[in-house]
Structure 1
Amino acid sequence: MRGTVRRVCVAGAVLGALVAGPTACTGETEADGAARETHRAVPRACVDGTFTWSRVTERDRLTGVSAVERLGTGGGRLENPMRRVYTPRPSVHADGPAPSAAEILFSFGRKTGEIDSDARTLAEAGGDTWAFTDVRLPAPELDADRVTPRAAGEFVQYAGVREVSADFRYTCPDGRTVSGHARNWTVDIGGLMDCEEEADSPLAREAARHSC
């Protein structure tokens, strides 16, 4: 029995209400903290800058895997729970005053195709927002869907996500620039493999190393 995989795009889904992403940019957070402590003016990010993205990469990451479970003729329901091996988390870091994490992820989402919008910024998106822009987006739950193989074998169920990451440069009209890095996950992946057969994907091979 060959392994099966489900792929559900979840991070790009549109949310009904505005999600106000917290400022996760390292430089901006430190500046805000300094302002509170010293009450002195600090540099702030310009609101009409331009993003340039580079080194965009995609990587499938194993997030959970079950212990191997042997089923006899006719198969049956798998009962072993998955244990988490990795927790994906959106992140944004900048080396100076930068727009909010939500604005940065909005630009990143447009760059990667996860966000389909003609708006230049999240603020101009007419009140719409996307889960991809939420720096607090939770990792997909494990064991959300139990699988029932219909054949005998030694089975392992696994889960993963597709992560995307990239470097950015934010350039203000006056020439000031801020550099940074952003990461998020885009696809919830679920799979089933038979340890008695050859794994047919990188995630399945990693799951096999954990459990088979």
Structure 2
Amino acid sequence: MHGMVGRACGAGLVIGVLVTGLAACTGSAGGNEADQGREPVKPVATACANGTFTWSHLTERDRLTGVSDPERLGKGGGPLQNPMRRVYTPRPSVRADGPAPSPAEILFSLGKKAGEIDSDARTLAEAGETWSFTDVRQPAPELDTDRIKPDAAGEYVQYAGVREVAADFRYRCPDGTTVSGHARNWTVDFAVLTDCEVRPDSPVAREAARRSCGPA
């Protein structure tokens, strides 16, 4: 992506220029005001506890979550003031066509498949620890938590995004019973700067430019 990265936080991993704790990136998973308006997680009937997952059609995609209006800065740059408006709210999602393991167990398996979770445990229950990636009520990252300060003149737009991981699964019990479904969650949370006068070099940057900079 063109420009500078203000933050980049993942489920259990923190990278980027600005190093912050995971809690600062994901917020609280408790039932507070931030939970209001979030789609409820539908309960999933449970299946056997000793089945095996098979995953297919794994995809990773960067999604734009927020973007600011453009702001022109003179020589030497300076702090940006325009707030970001939300354009997409990422949410964990688990769907199954019959009795299945808990959503957290499904996301645990997806996280291992995607390389987001490093664990030798066969199940989340056996792991004895938790990851934000397995939290089906993980809140979307907040916008405008980090303000980026460019150091040169230009017409700047700040934008934010996440990396979504999604795949289809098939869960098979020892007795031959199977259930199929689909799971999705987000991993990396990033804040980036782009200049309207410079051609964007990534799909998410181009979307931010289309929304705020206007036609090229």
- TM-score under structure 1 length normalisation: 0.84
| Helix, strand or coil at the partner of 2:113 | helix
Gap change, CA 1:7 and 1:162, over 3 Å in 2: farther
Q: SS state of the match for residue 107, structure 2?
A: helix
2:78 aligned with 1:92: no
Residue identity in the other structure for 1:116: D
Residue 162 of structure 1 aligns with an amino acid whose one-letter code is R
- Which position in structure 2 is the counterpart of 1:112? 114
Partner of 1:170: 171
Q: Which has the larger radius of gyration?
A: 1
Distance 2:78 2:97 in 1: 53
Cα distance in structure 2, aligned partners of 1:65 and 1:136: 24
Distance 2:186 2:143 in 1: 15
The residue type paired with residue 130 of structure 2 is T
**Distance verdict in 2 for CA 1:192–1:113, change over 3 Å:** same
Partner of 2:9: 9
Q: Distance in 1 between matches of 2:102 and 2:67?
A: 35
CA distances 1:173-206 after superposition (whole Å, capped 9, x unpaired): 0000000000000101211011011112111111
Cα distance in 2 between the residues matched to 1:27 and 1:211: 40
Structure 1: gaps spanning 5 or more residues: 29-43
CA distance in 2, matches of 1:174, 1:195: 59
- Misfit runs of 4+, over 6 Å: none
**Comparing 71-80 and 59-68, the one that deviates more:** 71-80
Deviations 1:52-106 (A, max 9, x none): 0000001110000000001111111100000000000011000000010000001
For the residues of structure 1 that align with 2:189 and 2:85, how far apart are their CA atoms? 16
Structure 1 equivalent of residue 208 of structure 2: 207
Q: Is 1:105–1:132's contact at 8 Å kept on the other side of the alignment?
A: yes
Residues 25 and 94 in structure 1, CA contact (< 8 A), matched pair in contact too: no
Matches of 1:72 and 1:45 in 2, distance apart?
Answer: 61
| Aligned residue type for 2:106 | I
Gap regions ≥5 residues in structure 2:
14-21, 24-28, 31-39
From the superposition, tell whether residues 100 and 24 of structure 1 become closer, same or farther in structure 2 (CA, over 3 Å): farther
In 2, Cα distance between the equivalents of 1:24 and 1:101? 9
How far apart, CA to CA, are the structure 1 residues paired with 2:97 and 2:105? 16
* 2:114 counterpart letter in structure 1: T
Alignment-derived partner of residue 19 in structure 2: none
RMSD: 2.0
SS at match of 1:196: coil
CA–CA distance in structure 2, aligned partners of residues 12 and 56 of structure 1: 20
Which of residues 50, 56, 66 in structure 2 aligns to 1:54? 56
Return the alpha-carbon distance in structure 2 between the equivalents of residues 189 and 147 of structure 1: 12
Please, which moves more after superposition, 60-69 or 2-11?
Answer: 2-11
What is the percent sequence identity of the aligned residues?
73
